[in-house]
Amino acid sequence: MAFHGLLVIRDESDIIGETLRHVLTWADGVYVLDTGSTDGTWEIVNELARRDGRVVPFLRQPVYWHLGLRALLFDRFRDRFRRGDWIVRLDADEMYHTAPPEFVRSRVSRAEGRVRSLMFEFVLTRSMVEADRASTGEKGGSVVDRRRVYYIDPHPEVRMFRYRPSMRWTPDRDGPFDEGLMAYERIPVRHYRCRDEAQVKKRCALRTRMRRGQPGDQPRHTFAPVTHWAEDDWEYWVWPDDSPRLRRWDPGAELPEFRSPRLARGTWARLRSQLKHGVRAPMLLDRFRTRYPTDYMPEPIPEEVQAQLAAAVGG
């Protein structure tokens, strides 16, 4: 049983090296698609790939991000996957608090084939911004050491699924058809979306330009979600220090656990799902599902928009 990571990135040079080094503590392969970085992110990935063959830089091409891009990586590298392997969704600014192999070994039953995340959102507070401004030296240490205040995001996302050779995943979907029986437990993920003032300003500028440059006549799935993309003011992402939602974590300490009552063992919905996967109905249905289109390529970013994006991040 192996663990394969699918990673889509753009302009994350301040954290991508730390994230990949974390991933390499547990992954058997990491397949990387860069949607047009101009800040050195792609060069960092390639340097790590030269040191460790498990990092596979697949493609750097200026394209619009959407949820189905990981399907492209899945299709290109599925010949490396074996029945029972786990496919893990990765992001450049996230780290798995519990390593996926350990989590599967200790918290996932043999019948379960899909795992959702429990997101710990590490934030930038007003006092952190002021301390950074007052500091005369460069920021030192890892982001894990520098950012220790978080809140719990109650909205889960599917982050891992068990591979079966008949699986179908088309680019208009954020995951394969019938990924598997949902696991009762949720894997903890630490998300470092906002790391310092300069990085947050760059993030807002990049995504503002990206939204303005998106073609309006493209299919819905080519658009990034607007929920957290639509904030142009970088200070929106800076939290007040006295927010009651915030908690503090020290590296090495445990994080709170959560179990979804909707997935409680013994419920009728759970039993129906178990029966569906127990009789291997998804494998039969896979025969009739659409295959990945061999000629598919993501929507390219026009050169003039790419130039604006590069200017937004100083690349």
Burial classification of residue 174, based on how many CB atoms lie within 10 Å of its CB (0-12 exposed, 13-18 middle, 19 or more buried)? middle
pLDDT digits over 44-91, tens only?
999 999 999 999 999 999 999 888 899 999 999 999 999 999 999 999
For the chain, the average pLDDT equals 89
The model's confidence at residue 280, banded by pLDDT at 50, 70 and 90, is confident
The model's confidence at residue 10, banded by pLDDT at 50, 70 and 90, is very high
Separation of alpha carbons 175 and 71, rounded Å: 7
Strands 114-122 and 158-162: antiparallel
Sign of CA dihedral 208, 214, 217, 221: negative
> Running DSSP on this structure, what letter comes out for residue 200?
H
Q: Among 68-77, 184-193, 216-225, where is mean pLDDT lowest?
A: 216-225
Q: What is the pLDDT of residue 222?
A: 44
Q: Is the pLDDT of residue 117 over 60?
A: yes
The model's confidence at residue 265, banded by pLDDT at 50, 70 and 90, is low
Three-state DSSP state, 11: coil
Separation of alpha carbons 312 and 315, rounded Å: 8
Q: What is the pLDDT of residue 244?
A: 96
> Running DSSP on this structure, what letter comes out for residue 112?
-
Sign of CA dihedral 42, 217, 193, 137: positive
Query: Comparing C-alpha atoms, which of 11, 162, 39, 29 is closest to residue 90?
Result: 29
Q: Is the pLDDT of residue 32 over 90?
A: yes
User: Domain boundaries in the chain?
Assistant: 3-313
Query: Comparing C-alpha atoms, which of 178, 172, 180 is closest to residue 292?
Result: 172
Separation of alpha carbons 301 and 210, rounded Å: 9
Say what the pTM is: 0.91
